[in-house]
Structure 1
Amino acid sequence: MLAPQPHHISATFHRRSPPSAATLHGTGTTSSRPHVYPISSSSPHHHHHPLPDDENDAASTTEKNLLRTHNANSAALLRRHLSTDDHQISHSEIQEKHSQLLKQDQQKLLEISLLSKRTPQFPGSIYANSSLQLVQSVFNGEKSNVNYYEDEVDDEMLVKALEIRRKVTAEIFKECMKRGKFGITYCENLVSKVPEFIDYVMIKAVAMKKLPEFAQSPYNVRAKEFIDESGVVQLIRWLKHNALSYPQIGKLISASRGNVDSIRRLAEWLKSIHVKGRFIGVALTRAGENVLERSVEELDEIIEYLEANGVRSDWLGYVVSRCPEILSFTMDEVKSRTDFYLSMGMDKNDFGTMLFDCPKVFGYLSMEEMNQKVAYLKEFGLDNEDMGRLLAFKPQLMACSIEDRWRPLVKYFYYLGISKDGMRRILTMKPMVFCVDLENTIVPKVQFLRDIGVAEDAIGSVLARFPSLLTYSLYKKIRPVVIFLLTRAGVSQQDVGKVIALQPELLGCSIANKLDHNVKYFLSLGITLPQLGEMVSDFPMLLRYNIDVLRPKYRYLRRMMIRPLEDLIEFPRFLSYSLEGRIIPRHKIMVENRINFKLRYMLASTDEEFDIRVEDAIERRRRFESGVIHEELSDSQDDHTETMSGF
């Protein structure tokens, strides 16, 4: 059973009541409009208080409005009116109170109109919002303040007004661009990149009101007039024609601080020093904001100084395109940076070439960073002149980080057993090694050497001997050479690591232009593939020689020396000696003295050792011919072995 509820009028109404009999027959005086019956939730017995006819009509009108608009305020007013049991308000009293309220409102509105002279209203005006707030305060019954406009305006109100004014200015700028035949999307994108210029236009348009000819002009007219006079739309068209993107154009216009003519002036000057194409935009945006404030004379002075120190005039456009920061330097900074490199023994031609190869080394780093990097590289034993030659050859070194690039690399080389002298060799022979990534470039190649069988203690010597190995592609250069040695040069898998350790330069040879030609030449001589593999394992340099150099030596071996092919297979180093300087002279000596040596003893010795060996062989031959050697053979078996080895 529900507990008794407090007596109140329910907000629930019957929208449609069943029609009475009189209404159905058309004989009663009851209105055809549906009746609204308030229902109390406290009792099933509803107490209906009869209303006067006028009030009943007003209630019916209120009910009709309620049904049509569902106005919550009207419904609440009707409920309060119908729930009044003790006091009945007549229609005349309501009209009297309403007329008093209208009189009070008229007085307050008159008071507002007398506060100050009405000002023209426009988007972004702070007075429009202020007047609205004042009117609202008056209608809310607050105390009016005649000195309202004399008080300081709220900061939040000013910010809102400023934002409105800024949006209006942006729309005016878009309209000016549309008149300049720009697309809607391009206008939207560009205007979003120039907020500083929008503010500048806004300030100038407001200031123009002080001019007599614009004293009566609205804000929109003044803003359009200033945009047209600035020529910014024509400048945007010109910059776009010169391949500048809208972010670059927006950045330039914002950096110009309203002086858009400086952008065109600088762009024309860049063209005069042969900066072309899209690099004009790169140079304009990366040169720094202060470069737009510099005169042409200051920029010409920098260019003339660089030309006087080895930078050719046709290189200047390339140098400035890659390092526009040069244009933001003062003459003192340009001179100090130039002297930094020239003081290391670098001449002007090398300096100009260095600046052309890597302009960043001149403009990207601070003087402190440059001194730190030079001091670090000198720790490997390089003197001042060596540093000058090194930087002239590979200026990219100055763009590398000491902590992120050099220190981890040096520690890794120490781990591999490379000494400081080895690192100096790497640095002087292939300085690019100090610029490559350690984890992604060097470590995988070292691991590959381990995988193919290069001894751990030999890896450091391999890298120090042939540092270019670290700059080659592992999958496009190194692995294909190793696969070629295994499959087409006859090298066994057990010997391929030894071959690379003995001759790492093979990894730098072209397969198509060098290795394949040499292999085909040796096979054409009648050497089998397994024999060739053993020859390469014994003397890997065999595959690096020029065939035109090998052919005369082989012809002399077979035709003049009348040696079999097996002698060459046994001693492939024969092809490494000079034909005119060693092979022919020593062969003549042996022929004249009627002696004969194996190729190994004939060539693999110095001239003094060869002369001693020849004299011993002549003496043995003489004694053999005289019969003395037979008696000595019985006394010393070692002498016999040595004598026979000489033939």
Structure 2
Amino acid sequence: MLSSATIHSSLASFPLFLRHQPLHSSSTLCLCSAVNDHDPLAATPDGDGLQPHPRKHNYKPTSLPQTPLSPEDKVRILELSLVTKRTPQFPGSIFVQSPGDADVASSLPPLNTLFRDRPDHADDVVDEDMLMRAVDIRRNVTTEIFREALMKKGKFGIRYAANLVSSLADFIDYVMIAAAAMKRQPEFSSWSFNLRAKTVIQESEVVPLIRWLKHNSQSYIRIGKLISMTKGNLKSIRLLAEWLNSVGVRGEFLGSVMLRAGDNIFQRSLEELDEIVEYLESKGVRGEWMGYVISRCPGLLCCSMEELRTRVAFYVDMDMNDHDFGTMVFDCPKALGYLTLEEMTQKVNYLKEFGLNNEQVGKLLAFKPELMCCSIEERWKPLVKYLYYLGISRMGMRKILVVKPMVFCIDLESNIVQKVRFFQDLGIQNDAIGKMLVTFPPLLTYSLLKKIRPVVIFLMTRAGVTQTDIAKVIALAPQLLGCSIANKLEVNMKYFLSLGISIRQLGAMIADFPMLLRYNIDVLRPKYQYLRRTMVRPLLDAIEFPRFFSYSLEGRIIPRHKSLVENRINFKLHHMLASTDDEFERKVVAAVDRRIRFESSVKARTISGSLLIMAGEVVPRDSESPDCSIIKTESSCPGTEDSTIQTPHHF
């Protein structure tokens, strides 16, 4: 029979084993019952034993009935307490048979029928809850070891180390599995799990790598994702980062490039990456552009050479030379490596529906490669329907696409529709808005609040344009909305006011010729000086015909003015300039003919009056020949001997 001291010592060590076993309430009650049954300080049957005070600390009374232990279970507990040497255990461990035990069976969890609700002879069934709990405990131990390594060796703060560890769950599992696998090796079989986990962390050199990534402006979230992507091959991060630096990728973009490149980027060799860079350089992408291109489209690094050649040939087949291809890749690297070949083909075919051939599409994409990044269903088709609503034909859309392809890249609802509604509020009709957009496609790319609206307010408040004329001004000259108020419109306004033109007259001039405010002062000043000094015309002529400032001084104004002077005729500015050369010549001939007839009639009257004064008498009526006029000439009155006055030859 065992002594009471032996039983007490065995029971004192028994809860250490039970800490990591799933206990049910019934099992706990059984255990308490077993302890009470074998308590050496319990009262003797005779009532003479010691009566200790009842235990109060951590005591949880229960009213449930307690199941007593069977004699076999009691014997098993006593045999377990007699084991002199057992396999060392740690939190979260599972009992493993060890040849060093005094009794191999003693390493097994005792009392299967006591602590598990399963029938006898069911030892082959694995308790998944117990295993998962053990794994969680070991994972927590590994997390604490890794956090301690970050703070001691990496000199990281407590908060940063905790945040970093929370984003490295995959790496924690990797360390835990590697440390557990080290126990199978003879040289590590006697090491504790903590020591093996520290060894794995130290050999992986993860702490210096994290310090280096943090030095390159990488957040702990990116660091965690990068380490998880390597699948344990941490050296590949530094090798790839050094290669990216060699091709021109800046330090703050290293993490972003490696994350967006793809999962297999760390499995690619540096020779494959060099081959991709050399091929792009041979197709027109400059070496100094390579870092920028890779930063914008890291997916190029994951393309195979066959796929990359196919993508390049897609653009080269549209008569795109190396220079255009290189600039296209630099402007929009996603046009080469972001889309699939099927999507690229669909977008090119859709652009050809506007009447563009293969070469024109190539030039368009070289000029604005961002078109390849726009969705057909979400961006282009709604825009085409809306332009049709404004009365723009397919040829008008083609002009918009060729002149300002950015229109097909901006959002319809938040950008284009808002501007069209603003023009409608000004009183411009839909068909006139469509003509405006075709005439000046960049209008849709201007900001409504920062560009278009301020210009309209300036024209109405400072340039003298009335509310009834503002719609006409904008419809006839939408280019005004693209002019700078401070550098163009206000400067021209002040110049015209300095000439003596009132604000009301300036507003009428702008309503008659809205493009008046777009000309440079250096162009306006010589024309005005020629009008006033050489042509000797009043300022009112310029006010009545403001389009005068739109004609070329050397090409039209001066030659036509000289022609009028030589022919001794005079035209208004409108008749002088607003006609073609042939029409102007016909006008000049007709005006000269009228001048000659007028001068002839005036001189005839003058000569007739002179003759009457000199003769001092009136010629009798019967002496007049019916074929001769009062003024007789040799040619007009045959038979007369004398002629009073010789008429000029041109009469």
User: What is the TM-score normalised by the length of structure 1?
Assistant: 0.79
- CA-CA distance at 1:119 after TM superposition: 3.5
Q: Are the equivalent residues in 1 in contact too, given 2:226–2:255 (CA < 8 A)? A: no
Correspondence for 1:520? 494
- CA-CA distance at 1:609 after TM superposition: 1.0
For residues 557 and 516 of structure 1, the distance between their equivalents in structure 2, rounded to whole angstroms, comes to 23
Deviations along 1:32-71, one digit per CA (max 9) or x if unpaired, are xxxxxxxxxxxxxxxxxxxxx9999799979x85999997
For residues 288 and 75 of structure 1, the distance between their equivalents in structure 2, rounded to whole angstroms, comes to 60
For residues 569 and 73 of structure 1, the distance between their equivalents in structure 2, rounded to whole angstroms, comes to 108
Is residue 575 from structure 1 mapped to residue 562 from structure 2 by the alignment? no
Q: Which moved more, 1:414-423 or 1:385-394?
A: 385-394
Identify which of 162, 185, 194 aligns with 2:135.
Answer: 162
For residues 372 and 117 of structure 2, the distance between their equivalents in structure 1, rounded to whole angstroms, comes to 73
For residues 58 and 463 of structure 1, the distance between their equivalents in structure 2, rounded to whole angstroms, comes to 112
Correspondence for 2:177? 203
Correspondence for 1:121? 89
Amino acid across the alignment from 2:150: M
Identify which of 176, 180, 199 aligns with 2:149.
Answer: 176
The structure-2 alpha-carbon separation of the partners of 1:624 and 1:253, relative to structure 1 and needing over 3 Å to count, comes to: same
Identify which of 232, 235, 238 aligns with 1:261.
Answer: 235
SS of the equivalent of 1:127 reads: coil
Amino acid across the alignment from 1:448: F
SS of the equivalent of 1:327 reads: helix
Correspondence for 2:527? 553
The structure-2 alpha-carbon separation of the partners of 1:133 and 1:546, relative to structure 1 and needing over 3 Å to count, comes to: same
Deviations along 1:86-125, one digit per CA (max 9) or x if unpaired, are xxxxxxxxxxxx9xx7965442236668999954322332
For residues 253 and 186 of structure 2, the distance between their equivalents in structure 1, rounded to whole angstroms, comes to 45
- CA-CA distance at 1:135 after TM superposition: 3.5
Correspondence for 2:446? 472
Provide structure 1 residue ranges, at least 5 long, that are not aligned to the other structure. Answer: 1-52, 78-97, 632-647
For residues 141 and 183 of structure 1, the distance between their equivalents in structure 2, rounded to whole angstroms, comes to 45
Deviations along 1:214-273, one digit per CA (max 9) or x if unpaired, are 121122111111211111111111111111111111111111111101111001111111
For residues 92 and 457 of structure 2, the distance between their equivalents in structure 1, rounded to whole angstroms, comes to 77
Deviations along 1:571-610, one digit per CA (max 9) or x if unpaired, are 1111111111111111111111111111111111111111
Q: Are the equivalent residues in 2 in contact too, given 1:620–1:629 (CA < 8 A)? A: no
- CA-CA distance at 1:133 after TM superposition: 9.7
The structure-2 alpha-carbon separation of the partners of 1:140 and 1:463, relative to structure 1 and needing over 3 Å to count, comes to: closer
Q: Are the equivalent residues in 2 in contact too, given 1:310–1:348 (CA < 8 A)? A: yes
- CA-CA distance at 1:139 after TM superposition: 4.7
For residues 141 and 462 of structure 1, the distance between their equivalents in structure 2, rounded to whole angstroms, comes to 85
Q: Are the equivalent residues in 2 in contact too, given 1:66–1:74 (CA < 8 A)? A: no
Correspondence for 2:619? none
For residues 385 and 142 of structure 1, the distance between their equivalents in structure 2, rounded to whole angstroms, comes to 80
Q: Are the equivalent residues in 2 in contact too, given 1:518–1:543 (CA < 8 A)? A: yes
The number of equivalent residue pairs is: 554
User: What is the TM-score normalised by the length of structure 2?
Assistant: 0.79
* Matches for 1:185-334 after TM superposition, within 5 Å: 185-334=159-308
Q: Which moved more, 1:132-141 or 1:252-261?
A: 132-141
For residues 509 and 211 of structure 2, the distance between their equivalents in structure 1, rounded to whole angstroms, comes to 72
For residues 490 and 394 of structure 1, the distance between their equivalents in structure 2, rounded to whole angstroms, comes to 40
Q: Are the equivalent residues in 2 in contact too, given 1:623–1:629 (CA < 8 A)? A: no
* Matches for 1:419-458 after TM superposition, within 5 Å: 419-458=393-432
Correspondence for 2:4? none
The structure-2 alpha-carbon separation of the partners of 1:431 and 1:55, relative to structure 1 and needing over 3 Å to count, comes to: same
The structure-2 alpha-carbon separation of the partners of 1:71 and 1:161, relative to structure 1 and needing over 3 Å to count, comes to: closer
Q: Which moved more, 1:128-137 or 1:510-519?
A: 128-137
* Matches for 1:595-614 after TM superposition, within 5 Å: 595-614=569-588
Correspondence for 1:36? none
Is residue 109 from structure 1 mapped to residue 77 from structure 2 by the alignment? yes
The structure-2 alpha-carbon separation of the partners of 1:115 and 1:463, relative to structure 1 and needing over 3 Å to count, comes to: farther
For residues 300 and 400 of structure 1, the distance between their equivalents in structure 2, rounded to whole angstroms, comes to 31
For residues 117 and 68 of structure 1, the distance between their equivalents in structure 2, rounded to whole angstroms, comes to 31
Amino acid across the alignment from 1:442: I
For residues 443 and 163 of structure 1, the distance between their equivalents in structure 2, rounded to whole angstroms, comes to 57
- CA-CA distance at 1:380 after TM superposition: 1.0
Correspondence for 1:616? 590
Identity of aligned residues (%): 61
For residues 76 and 281 of structure 1, the distance between their equivalents in structure 2, rounded to whole angstroms, comes to 63
Deviations along 1:155-205, one digit per CA (max 9) or x if unpaired, are 333322222222222222222222211222222211222222222222222
Q: Which moved more, 1:494-503 or 1:446-455?
A: 446-455
For residues 275 and 64 of structure 2, the distance between their equivalents in structure 1, rounded to whole angstroms, comes to 84
For residues 463 and 293 of structure 1, the distance between their equivalents in structure 2, rounded to whole angstroms, comes to 52
* Matches for 1:464-503 after TM superposition, within 5 Å: 464-503=438-477
SS of the equivalent of 2:249 reads: coil
Q: Are the equivalent residues in 2 in contact too, given 1:391–1:397 (CA < 8 A)? A: yes
Amino acid across the alignment from 1:422: G
Q: Are the equivalent residues in 2 in contact too, given 1:256–1:262 (CA < 8 A)? A: yes
Q: Are the equivalent residues in 2 in contact too, given 1:190–1:246 (CA < 8 A)? A: yes
For residues 339 and 452 of structure 1, the distance between their equivalents in structure 2, rounded to whole angstroms, comes to 50
- CA-CA distance at 1:442 after TM superposition: 0.9
Is residue 378 from structure 1 mapped to residue 352 from structure 2 by the alignment? yes
Amino acid across the alignment from 1:564: P
Q: Are the equivalent residues in 2 in contact too, given 1:108–1:138 (CA < 8 A)? A: no
* Matches for 1:316-355 after TM superposition, within 5 Å: 316-355=290-329
SS of the equivalent of 2:301 reads: helix
The structure-2 alpha-carbon separation of the partners of 1:557 and 1:117, relative to structure 1 and needing over 3 Å to count, comes to: same
For residues 166 and 616 of structure 1, the distance between their equivalents in structure 2, rounded to whole angstroms, comes to 106
For residues 117 and 448 of structure 2, the distance between their equivalents in structure 1, rounded to whole angstroms, comes to 84
Correspondence for 1:539? 513
For residues 75 and 345 of structure 1, the distance between their equivalents in structure 2, rounded to whole angstroms, comes to 90
For residues 490 and 55 of structure 2, the distance between their equivalents in structure 1, rounded to whole angstroms, comes to 100
SS of the equivalent of 1:126 reads: coil
Amino acid across the alignment from 2:556: R
The structure-2 alpha-carbon separation of the partners of 1:630 and 1:493, relative to structure 1 and needing over 3 Å to count, comes to: farther
Deviations along 1:618-641, one digit per CA (max 9) or x if unpaired, are 11112222229999xxxxxxxxxx
- CA-CA distance at 1:126 after TM superposition: 2.6
For residues 520 and 398 of structure 1, the distance between their equivalents in structure 2, rounded to whole angstroms, comes to 46
SS of the equivalent of 1:125 reads: coil
The structure-2 alpha-carbon separation of the partners of 1:561 and 1:214, relative to structure 1 and needing over 3 Å to count, comes to: same
Q: Are the equivalent residues in 2 in contact too, given 1:337–1:362 (CA < 8 A)? A: yes
For residues 113 and 149 of structure 2, the distance between their equivalents in structure 1, rounded to whole angstroms, comes to 42
> CA RMSD, aligned part only?
3.2
- CA-CA distance at 1:511 after TM superposition: 0.8
For residues 54 and 227 of structure 1, the distance between their equivalents in structure 2, rounded to whole angstroms, comes to 58
Amino acid across the alignment from 1:123: P
Q: Are the equivalent residues in 2 in contact too, given 1:121–1:128 (CA < 8 A)? A: no
For residues 483 and 62 of structure 2, the distance between their equivalents in structure 1, rounded to whole angstroms, comes to 94
For residues 478 and 323 of structure 1, the distance between their equivalents in structure 2, rounded to whole angstroms, comes to 35
